[in-house]
A and B are shown apart, each in its own frame.
Chain A
Amino acid sequence: MLSGDGYREALTDYGLTTGDFGDDVDAMDEILQTGITQNYNMSISGGGEAGTYRAGFSYFDQDGIIKNSNLKRYTANLSGSYKFLNSKRIGLEWNLITSFTKEQAPPISTNAGFEGSLIGQALQWNPTHKLYEADGSPVIIPAFGNTSINPLAMLDAYHDNSSTVDLLGSISPYVKITDALTYKFAYSLTHGVGDRRAYLNSWINIAGITGNGVAGINTDKSTNQILTHSLSYLADITNGINLNAVAGYEYQKLTESGFGVNTSGFPLEAFDYTNILQSGKNTTNNSIQPYHNPDAYLQSFFVRANFNIQDKYLLTGTFRADGSSKFGSDNQYGYFPAVGAAWNIHNEDFLSDGMFNTLKLRLGWGKTGNSEFPSGASQERYSVGYNGTNHTAALDNVANPGLKWETTTNLNAGIDFAILDYKVSGTLEYFNKSTEDLLFQNPTIQPAPASTYWINLPGKVINTGVELSLNTTLVDNESLTWDFGGNVTFLKNELQDYTGANIEYGEVFGQGSSGATIQKLVNGKPLNSFYTRHFLGIGDDGQGMYEGGAAETQDFRGDANPDMLLGLSTGLSAGKLGFVMNFNGAFGGLVYNNTKMSVIPISNLGTRNIDASLVGNAKQEASSNPIKSSDRFLEKGDYLKLANATVSYNLGKLGNNVKNVKIYLTGQNLLVFTKYSGFDPEVNTVNVRNGLPSTGIEYIPYPSARSVVAGANFSF
């Protein structure tokens, strides 16, 4: 972004005589605030031999770093356990958590077009134009264009409050039938009810809203019930051979429903419009949108056995049969076996010299299933409606009764070691995950009632990698301990044996790029591969030049997946003083800077703000150079972040009653080392196009906050 003076300089460079309004403002700075977070926890516990209980209460209050964003959560939980009979062979555990959350959200959306959302409005605001009128109220219609929105006016006009009540209850009785055999039952119920009320005042300068205002109320309700029966057996079978086996059954039911109503055209400003929805005059924008999703049922049968032979050889086998109502009637069940073996070499006689504290070889193979996709895809769904004159009905989807479980086959091999009295330990692991029958939205075979439908992907997604971790204790004496650890993972991703359609996805947003996509799914390439133009630079005429000339050839330009992940941590404790620091990083992935491309392009010059890197270059970019997606906006997303750092001091006992007093100072997201020019290389603005979600595109996101927390723990 340019400052007011920088903007004036740019106007002069371009010979523009309009666009300077004399001021020097920073709109982005004006919408940000220092957010204060408060968090209080209190718990009491007690009990005796027959039973225990614990009760806790907490209050959390967080201001976001954008003005008008706030979250408050009140939580109460109660849990306990009881044992019956003198033999204590029957017991019961129970848990109850309730929470109430209130959230105020600013007007930030991830798929804003021409008007943009708050962040875009702030980035675009002409830095030479005042934000406030003389009376201190925000300017509503700026002189540089009546379609530009003052983010401060937007903050005043937009009201978005939601509240959520969540309830979780669980009870799990058990019976120790014999010393080795235990039966356990568990039931849990999660129920959430959310309510969102939002409105936009009629005085804001947005076409369609001005003079009308708009308001809506949405409620959402979900209930999830899980019931489990299990029988476990734990015993020494013969000398040195130990068996731990479990067999069980699990049942789950998920229901989701809700309601939304929106209207516009309100008579009076004095009200919160959501309190007077009945007075909305514009039938044109009324909508009533109830939903009640198909219920989803899941039931599973499972067995698991672990053998431990003299602490040298460990064998594990599991088998699950999972059934889901989401799949076609012939394919509701998926069968998922897994086996694993480990060899504790350090327990062998030939390594009894004690050089290795741990030396363990591990090998595992297993299949897991996934059924995470919307219910109702395997059968035909007819919806009914009203078109203004008649009732209507239509088939909405292409049913796929052959849908089956997505299955990932995981092969991993690793070695764990620890030496020097555990002062140096580490792991080296190789993994290969092959996902088949990926649940996927494919183009329909027209003529058809929809453009995409759910299928199992004809192909497989292969993820392979090597992970290396090393932890060391550098200093360990009475006055000081110092630990250092690190892990690094090398990753590779590829779509193989894919015989389906090549699908373009990864929509870019903003003015001048309607319908543009920059990602493509094809066989032999990684997922999240970018497919776009190659930018050659700015030509003598100030226009962008692209590979292929006027044809502007699109091709593959790398992918969003990191090749390497890095984690570093260190901890230091000296007496009562403690210090912990964690870094994480990712390298080798690309990020598409959609914000830079669409929100602050050179064509804004003369009216709105532009990206600072667009001026002062050897070749001047013409202000008429079109907004066009290309690898010009594809940047390296490499970063290393100081994710958190904590200093703590243990005061111990204060007086006679207050114990375990500890004070601490924690910072989160304190430092980012990156060359990425946007908000945050870790931020991803997901959008779904042609049924595929995008990864690696940044578009005017909620900026990530740097936070510092001071706290104290104590007990009585």
Chain B
Amino acid sequence: MKINKLFFLVILAGFFACTDLKENLNDDLNFGQADEVLDAGILLSGAYSGMNGVYHGGGGMWGMNEHSSDEAIAPTRGGDWDDNGAWRALCLQTWSPEHVEVNNAFNGLLGQIFATTQVLTFGPTPQQEAEAKALRALHVYNVADLFGQVPFREPGEDLLLAPRVMTAEEAIDLVISDAESAIPNLPDGPAILANKDMAKVLLMKAYLNKGVYADRAAPKFDNGDMQKVITLANEIINSGKYSLATNYFDNFAPNNNAISTENIFTVENVAGSRSNIRNHWFCTLHYNQNPSGWNGFTTLSDFYDSFEQDDARRQADYPGMTDVSGVKAGFGIGQQYDQNGTALLDRKGNPLIFTPEVSLIETGNNLEVTGIRVIKYPIDYNHGDNADNDLVIFRYADVLLMKAEALLRTGDDAGALAIVNEVRAGRNATDLASLGLNEMLAERGREMYWEGWRRQDLIRFGKFLDAWQEKPATGAERLLFPIPSTALAVNPNLVQNTGY
């Protein structure tokens, strides 16, 4: 074998490789590519669908707003639902800065603030900018409401540096200015988009609660703020676009985007592709109901007892649900049946009878069946785990009740009573003879239950720290959630809320 040595070496040299170690991302775009090919619209769509995981019920923000209140409880049922004491801590208001749901909500909402801010760096049209800012204002509002502080980045800020932190009052000022400046460029609808009326309802919430953000323990309600609430409400009412639904549960139905006459802003769930709404029924249905649920959350009997017997919001058959599975809309109490009227049994073979009595820690033999269940969203049997019901954030009845409350707080008791009775009449409840703050809060509870507003309402009415069924009185520090300890550790501009 005669091979020229030199020839051999030349061949080898051809294999010599030297690389500049440049990394191709392949299935993602890097910043330069993104800057070139992505427009603000596609990022805005991402920001809308990103809300899906943050705003839906079960845990997170919804859990913090509902389980901490007098209308929801998550009993530990033997082997089920202790979950490291997380639910109990919410119900008793004994959460810590390490609480898993507190962390989830903080990261989730601030992630949405980031996503909406980023739309602004990609050259948005005036409408896209307005939608992004209106969505961001909603997220900022919720962080301020829950945590009292809002870390905030301008578009394009370095993500490795700690951002500035706004106080709740600064944050509410930003919410108001962003929502106001967005309104002219926002679309008129539909409810799945950030629209003009959505921004107006957000402004109403901001003005109505402004006194709370100045002093949570003893809020004062400024007359000018209340007048703004009334003016905004009148704009929405006078637009004639909305009316109280003839069937209360239509607002939450699988096709609520088509049939609700009340919904002003919703988080869109798309049957078959993106949806988290099933949590709202899985968390409460018993294993032996259809669909087989997780047998968890219930309401409290004191709250249930605040309804009149014929109140349409209390319990109703709902077409497409009760005839399919026997499950009724509203509250599930007493013996449960299937669609044929056959009485259901629990897992031990006893009759499935939901009891009004419920304890935070269940120890009895009936621990599987205690507590009144809550079906606010009629179940979508056509789409299984990816149901079509859009999640309601703002709706017309809330606008009416906020207007009534603003009238009440500015001395127009008669005007307030008329509106409350208008809502009650729409729900087949008898007229109230008079209206004070306690009745106002109670009516908000009956109308808005399990929609994620109860904690805020209780704070505004000065009742959040009170003792109620299964919960002792709590200290003033509980008016705010703690800043998660991991967030504190990475952002020195955050200061832990007093008392934690």
A residues within 8 Å of B by Cβ? 18-19, 50, 84-85, 89-90, 114, 144-147, 173, 175, 183, 185, 187, 207-208, 227, 229, 249, 251, 253, 257, 282-286, 290-297, 299, 323-326, 332, 375-376, 378-396, 398-400, 402, 442-451, 500-504, 511-517, 541, 543, 551-552, 601-604, 606-607, 622-629, 690
Cβ contact within 8 Å between B24 and A295 = yes
Cβ contact within 8 Å between B159 and A445 = yes
Cβ contact within 8 Å between A604 and B79 = yes
Bound together, the chains give a CA A450 to CA B29 distance in angstroms of 16
Bound together, the chains give a CA A501 to CA B489 distance in angstroms of 5
For A383, A444, A511, A541, the residue with the greatest tally of chain B CB atoms inside 10 Å of its CB is A444
Cβ contact within 8 Å between A387 and B28 = no
Which residue of chain B has the shortest Cβ distance to A629 in the bound complex?
B84
Hey, which chain A residues are within 8 Å of B12, CB to CB?
173, 183, 185, 229
Q: List 5 A-B contacts (CB under 8 A).
A: A114-B294, A147-B287, A332-B21, A447-B114, A501-B489
B residues within 8 Å of A by Cβ? 1-3, 5, 8-9, 12, 15-19, 21-31, 33-34, 38, 42-43, 45-50, 59, 76-86, 94, 98, 100-101, 106-107, 110-111, 113-115, 117-118, 151-153, 159-163, 268, 270-274, 287-288, 291-292, 294, 347-349, 361-364, 367, 383-386, 485-487, 489-491
For B25, B79, B487, the residue with the greatest tally of chain A CB atoms inside 10 Å of its CB is B79
Bound together, the chains give a CA A376 to CA B386 distance in angstroms of 32
Are A395 and B268 CB-contacts (below 8 A) given A185-B12, A251-B19? no
Bound together, the chains give a CA A323 to CA B22 distance in angstroms of 11
Hey, which chain A residues are within 8 Å of B49, CB to CB?
387-388, 390, 392
Shortest Cβ distance from residue B218 to the other chain A in the assembled complex, whole angstroms? 29
Are A293 and B27 CB-contacts (below 8 A) given A175-B5, A447-B114, A627-B82? yes
Cβ contact within 8 Å between A449 and B115 = yes
Hey, which chain B residues are within 8 Å of A393, CB to CB?
29, 34, 38, 42-43, 45-46
Bound together, the chains give a CA A383 to CA B26 distance in angstroms of 10
Are A295 and B23 CB-contacts (below 8 A) given A90-B8, A391-B45? yes
Bound together, the chains give a CA A286 to CA B271 distance in angstroms of 12
Bound together, the chains give a CA A168 to CA B347 distance in angstroms of 56
Cβ contact within 8 Å between B486 and A185 = no
Are A512 and B81 CB-contacts (below 8 A) given A18-B348, A292-B26, A445-B160? yes
The contact of B30 among A50, A283, A380, by CB within 8 Å, is A380
Cβ contact within 8 Å between B100 and A515 = yes
Cβ contact within 8 Å between B79 and A297 = no
The contact of A387 among B45, B292, B364, by CB within 8 Å, is B45
Hey, which chain A residues are within 8 Å of B50, CB to CB?
394
Bound together, the chains give a CA A385 to CA B386 distance in angstroms of 18
Cβ contact within 8 Å between B111 and A446 = yes
For A253, A399, A449, the residue with the greatest tally of chain B CB atoms inside 10 Å of its CB is A449
Cβ contact within 8 Å between A601 and B19 = no
Cβ contact within 8 Å between A514 and B23 = no
Which residue of chain B has the shortest Cβ distance to A50 in the bound complex?
B1
Hey, which chain A residues are within 8 Å of B384, CB to CB?
208, 282, 284-285
Hey, which chain A residues are within 8 Å of B361, CB to CB?
626
Cβ contact within 8 Å between B80 and A446 = no
Shortest Cβ distance from residue B438 to the other chain A in the assembled complex, whole angstroms? 31
Which residue of chain B has the shortest Cβ distance to A147 in the bound complex?
B287
Which residue of chain B has the shortest Cβ distance to A291 in the bound complex?
B27
The contact of B364 among A286, A552, A624, by CB within 8 Å, is A624
Cβ contact within 8 Å between A382 and B291 = no
Cβ contact within 8 Å between A442 and B490 = yes
Cβ contact within 8 Å between B27 and A444 = no
Cβ contact within 8 Å between A601 and B79 = yes
Hey, which chain B residues are within 8 Å of A392, CB to CB?
42-43, 45-46, 49
Are A379 and B82 CB-contacts (below 8 A) given A443-B486, A443-B489? no
Hey, which chain B residues are within 8 Å of A285, CB to CB?
384-386
The contact of B161 among A291, A445, A504, by CB within 8 Å, is A445
Are A384 and B42 CB-contacts (below 8 A) given A379-B25, A447-B117, A627-B79? yes
Cβ contact within 8 Å between B487 and A446 = yes
Query: A297-B23, A443-B486 known; 4 other A-B pairs, CB under 8 Å?
Result: A293-B26, A382-B30, A383-B28, A690-B486
For B84, B270, B363, the residue with the greatest tally of chain A CB atoms inside 10 Å of its CB is B84
Bound together, the chains give a CA A294 to CA B94 distance in angstroms of 45
Which residue of chain A has the shortest Cβ distance to B153 in the bound complex?
A447
Bound together, the chains give a CA A7 to CA B347 distance in angstroms of 18
Hey, which chain B residues are within 8 Å of A290, CB to CB?
27
Hey, which chain B residues are within 8 Å of A326, CB to CB?
23
Bound together, the chains give a CA A514 to CA B99 distance in angstroms of 12
Cβ contact within 8 Å between B25 and A376 = yes
Bound together, the chains give a CA A402 to CA B159 distance in angstroms of 12
Shortest Cβ distance from residue B211 to the other chain A in the assembled complex, whole angstroms? 27
Bound together, the chains give a CA A326 to CA B31 distance in angstroms of 16
Cβ contact within 8 Å between B27 and A626 = no
For A114, A257, A512, the residue with the greatest tally of chain B CB atoms inside 10 Å of its CB is A512
Cβ contact within 8 Å between B78 and A625 = yes
Bound together, the chains give a CA A390 to CA B43 distance in angstroms of 10
Bound together, the chains give a CA A91 to CA B347 distance in angstroms of 76
Bound together, the chains give a CA A389 to CA B269 distance in angstroms of 10
Cβ contact within 8 Å between A444 and B23 = no
Bound together, the chains give a CA A129 to CA B222 distance in angstroms of 69
Bound together, the chains give a CA A253 to CA B26 distance in angstroms of 14
The contact of A294 among B24, B85, B272, by CB within 8 Å, is B24
Cβ contact within 8 Å between B3 and A84 = yes
Cβ contact within 8 Å between A395 and B118 = yes
Bound together, the chains give a CA A387 to CA B78 distance in angstroms of 39
Hey, which chain B residues are within 8 Å of A251, CB to CB?
17-19
Bound together, the chains give a CA A603 to CA B349 distance in angstroms of 16
Are A388 and B274 CB-contacts (below 8 A) given A187-B15, A284-B385? yes
Bound together, the chains give a CA A5 to CA B485 distance in angstroms of 50
For B3, B42, B100, the residue with the greatest tally of chain A CB atoms inside 10 Å of its CB is B42
Hey, which chain B residues are within 8 Å of A299, CB to CB?
18-19, 21
Hey, which chain A residues are within 8 Å of B26, CB to CB?
257, 292-295
Are A294 and B25 CB-contacts (below 8 A) given A381-B30, A389-B270, A626-B76? yes
Cβ contact within 8 Å between A449 and B114 = yes
Bound together, the chains give a CA A384 to CA B25 distance in angstroms of 13
Hey, which chain A residues are within 8 Å of B84, CB to CB?
513-517, 628-629
Hey, which chain A residues are within 8 Å of B367, CB to CB?
624
Shortest Cβ distance from residue B316 to the other chain A in the assembled complex, whole angstroms? 26
The contact of B111 among A229, A451, A515, by CB within 8 Å, is A451
Hey, which chain B residues are within 8 Å of A451, CB to CB?
107, 111
Which residue of chain B has the shortest Cβ distance to A607 in the bound complex?
B347
Cβ contact within 8 Å between B29 and A185 = no
Cβ contact within 8 Å between A444 and B159 = yes
Hey, which chain B residues are within 8 Å of A514, CB to CB?
83-84, 86
Cβ contact within 8 Å between B82 and A628 = yes
The contact of A325 among B3, B23, B27, B383, by CB within 8 Å, is B23
Which residue of chain A has the shortest Cβ distance to B82 in the bound complex?
A626
The contact of A207 among B107, B292, B348, by CB within 8 Å, is B292
Hey, which chain B residues are within 8 Å of A378, CB to CB?
23
Bound together, the chains give a CA A627 to CA B83 distance in angstroms of 8
Bound together, the chains give a CA A472 to CA B426 distance in angstroms of 94
Cβ contact within 8 Å between B21 and A501 = no
Shortest Cβ distance from residue A699 to the other chain B in the assembled complex, whole angstroms? 16
Hey, which chain A residues are within 8 Å of B22, CB to CB?
297, 325
Cβ contact within 8 Å between B114 and A381 = no
Bound together, the chains give a CA A85 to CA B31 distance in angstroms of 55
Bound together, the chains give a CA A402 to CA B158 distance in angstroms of 13
Hey, which chain B residues are within 8 Å of A183, CB to CB?
9, 12
Hey, which chain A residues are within 8 Å of B9, CB to CB?
175, 183
The contact of A447 among B47, B111, B294, B386, by CB within 8 Å, is B111
Bound together, the chains give a CA A81 to CA B383 distance in angstroms of 64
Cβ contact within 8 Å between A502 and B489 = yes
In the A-B complex, the 5 residue pairs with the closest CB atoms? A603-B79, A388-B270, A388-B273, A501-B489, A516-B84
Cβ contact within 8 Å between B86 and A447 = no
Bound together, the chains give a CA A631 to CA B348 distance in angstroms of 31
